[in-house]
């Protein structure tokens, strides 16, 4: 098998604190067989390919552990669950893999969607039918009555095509877990809490500590990973004690939670990007602002920064997720903002944040997909960046700085044609956003007071 030799003036392995100079990568069968100084590299054979990366900064392809690949940049829960068939969601997801790739993200973890959507996208890519990022796929989010994904009233329930699956009893939980394992997920997501609070404002966990342990043990027994959504102290604590692989958010964790996480070896993916975008970009007329969601998130950010800083200082390992797939976090746009947030809000060094976004986040990928670092034995997924993210991590959000994306040593040109968002998503039937009284018509200058009085 012919080898490919990549000369790198500046190389960041994803495992260290600094970049190395004058390095060479050698790739065979899509895997690194040499990573080290050019001086001591094995000789280049006749006819073998040599890639010169010039002044580019070479680093591992980025990993986002929280991208909702099939949500279609949704504006509402109805957008996610009601208006689009699972088949269309999968096709749409396949389309948006290109936007993710073009942003330098060569691996994504998809935490929760209906049926076989992300599984199908993953299988089509793995079969070589399409070129796309490596995908860790999941199925429905395991939910309970107090969970995030049990969005709709109890009389609606959770039909099969919803992204959440109501599992209110142990029997239902275990049956759902075994169904998902059979269908070939890489991970399962449990919604450990949601918008349910005690009178003192504390989040209520949707599952008991016992139930959580029971589910996580069964998922691990079946060889799958577990991600959980948990804002509140109680949910974080139960998840950590049960030994889940990654906790999304963990904003209200306390010292007991931190201790439990350190003991179990769980990771935390703050996934602040969605909150940051929402508080900064949502306009006053948008439902997100009017409903108080944005101002609630502002308070969550304050508490979250405090607690997450403490956790990182105590040694809790961070991963990076963006919650891409919503209208406030469109695909390919904001994935790398999370890296900037880890530096600016939580005080990580650029190298720490880059490791979080590469080698640490890669731990959520299937064991067969060893990625996330430039290291012998790992798959040769890497990117070329114009400029050093070690000097300024924010440059990773500038598309023109991502000068080359390689999967298994092969350069990929992602296809990102323009598209009409109204034909891809946003099929809501909402027709009006305010109450059109006669008084309001006058205020808007559509009617005059005299026409009103005549009536």
Q: Are 192 and 164 in contact (CB under 8 A)?
A: no
Residues 6+ apart with CB under 8 A from 24: 5, 6, 7, 8, 34, 35, 36, 37, 38, 41
Q: Does 381 bind Zn ion (CB under 5 A)?
A: no
How many angstroms separate the CA atoms of 114 and 162, rounded? Answer: 6
Query: In the sheet that 246-249 helps form, which strands lie side by side, from edge to edge?
Result: 164-166, 141-143, 187-191, 225-230, 246-249, 267-269
Pick between residue 112 and residue 317 the one whose CB is nearest to Zn ion. Answer: 112
Closest CA to 329 of 115, 26, 74, 28: 74
Q: Does 333 bind Zn ion (CB under 5 A)?
A: no
Pick between residue 58 and residue 148 the one whose CB is nearest to Zn ion. Answer: 148
Pick the stretch among 69-77, 150-158, 317-325, 369-377 that binds Zn ion (CB under 5 A).
317-325
Min dist CB 16 to Zn ion, Å, is 31
Pick the stretch among 26-34, 322-330, 340-348, 392-400 that binds Zn ion (CB under 5 A).
322-330
Pick between residue 112 and residue 132 the one whose CB is nearest to Zn ion. Answer: 112
Q: Does 323 bind Zn ion (CB under 5 A)?
A: yes
What would the two tokens of residue 352 be?
């720490």
How many angstroms separate the CA atoms of 238 and 234, rounded? Answer: 6
The count of residues interacting with Zn ion (CB under 5 A) is 1
SS3 at position 4: strand
Which residue number places its CB atom closest to Zn ion?
323
CA end-to-end span of the chain:
86
Pick between residue 77 and residue 209 the one whose CB is nearest to Zn ion. Answer: 77
Pick between residue 150 and residue 323 the one whose CB is nearest to Zn ion. Answer: 323
Q: Are 341 and 2 in contact (CB under 8 A)?
A: no
Pick the stretch among 157-165, 278-286, 323-331, 371-379 that binds Zn ion (CB under 5 A).
323-331
Min dist CB 138 to Zn ion, Å, is 11
Pick the stretch among 172-180, 294-302, 319-327, 342-350 that binds Zn ion (CB under 5 A).
319-327
Pick between residue 69 and residue 339 the one whose CB is nearest to Zn ion. Answer: 69
Min dist CB 270 to Zn ion, Å, is 12
Binders of Zn ion among residues 239 to 258 (CB under 5 A) are: none
Q: If you count them, how many residues does the chain have?
A: 455
What are phi and psi for residue 280, nearest 5 degrees? -95, -30
The site string for Zn ion over 92-131 (x = CB under 5 A, - otherwise) reads ----------------------------------------
Pick the stretch among 37-45, 76-84, 316-324, 419-427 that binds Zn ion (CB under 5 A).
316-324
How many angstroms separate the CA atoms of 308 and 320, rounded? Answer: 13
- Chain-centroid distance of CA 395 in Å reads 19
Pick between residue 323 and residue 381 the one whose CB is nearest to Zn ion. Answer: 323
Contact residues toward Zn ion (CB under 5 A) are 323
């Amino acid at each position: 098998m012919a080898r490919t030799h990549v000369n790198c003036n500046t190389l960041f392995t994803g495992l260290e604190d600094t970049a190395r100079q004058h390095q060479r990568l050698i790739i065979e069968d899509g895997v690194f067989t040499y990573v080290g100084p050019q001086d001591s590299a094995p000789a280049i054979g006749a006819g073998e390919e040599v890639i010169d990366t010039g002044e580019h900064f070479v680093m591992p392809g980025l990993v986002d552990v929280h991208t909702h690949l099939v949500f279609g940049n949704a504006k509402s829960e109805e957008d996610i669950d009601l208006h689009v068939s699972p088949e269309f969601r999968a096709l749409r997801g396949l389309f948006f893999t290109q936007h993710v790739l073009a942003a330098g993200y060569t691996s994504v973890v998809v935490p929760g969607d209906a049926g076989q959507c992300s599984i199908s996208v993953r299988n089509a890519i793995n079969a070589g039918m399409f070129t796309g990022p490596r995908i860790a796929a999941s199925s429905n989010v395991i939910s309970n009555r107090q969970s995030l994904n049990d969005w709709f009233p109890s009389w609606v329930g959770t039909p099969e095509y919803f992204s959440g699956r109501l599992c209110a009893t142990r029997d239902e939980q275990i049956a759902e877990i075994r169904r998902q394992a059979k269908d070939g997920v890489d991970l399962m997501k449990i919604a450990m809490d949601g918008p349910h609070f005690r009178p003192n404002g504390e989040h209520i966990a949707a599952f008991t500590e016992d139930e959580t342990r029971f589910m996580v043990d069964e998922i691990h027994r079946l060889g799958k990973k577990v991600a959980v959504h948990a804002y509140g102290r109680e949910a974080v604590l139960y998840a950590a004690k049960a030994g889940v692989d990654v906790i999304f958010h963990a904003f209200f964790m306390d010292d007991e939670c931190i201790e439990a996480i350190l003991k179990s070896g769980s990771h935390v993916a703050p996934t602040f990007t969605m909150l940051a975008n929402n508080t900064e970009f949502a306009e006053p007329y948008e439902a997100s602002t009017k409903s108080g969601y944005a101002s609630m998130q502002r308070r969550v950010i304050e508490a979250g920064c405090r607690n997450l800083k403490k956790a990182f200082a105590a040694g809790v390992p961070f991963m990076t997720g963006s919650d891409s797939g919503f209208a406030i976090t469109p695909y390919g746009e904001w994935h790398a903002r999370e890296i900037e947030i880890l530096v600016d809000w939580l005080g990580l060094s650029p190298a720490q944040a880059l490791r979080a976004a590469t080698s640490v986040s890669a731990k959520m990928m299937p064991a067969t997909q060893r990625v996330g670092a430039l290291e012998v034995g790992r798959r040769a997924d890497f990117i070329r960046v114009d400029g050093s993210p070690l000097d300024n991590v924010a440059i990773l959000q500038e598309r023109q700085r991502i000068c080359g994306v390689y999967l298994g040593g092969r350069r990929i040109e992602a296809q990102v044609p323009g598209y009409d968002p109204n034909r891809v998503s946003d099929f809501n039937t909402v027709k009006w956003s305010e109450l059109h009284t006669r008084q309001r018509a006058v205020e808007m200058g559509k009617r005059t007071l005299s026409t009103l009085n005549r009536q």
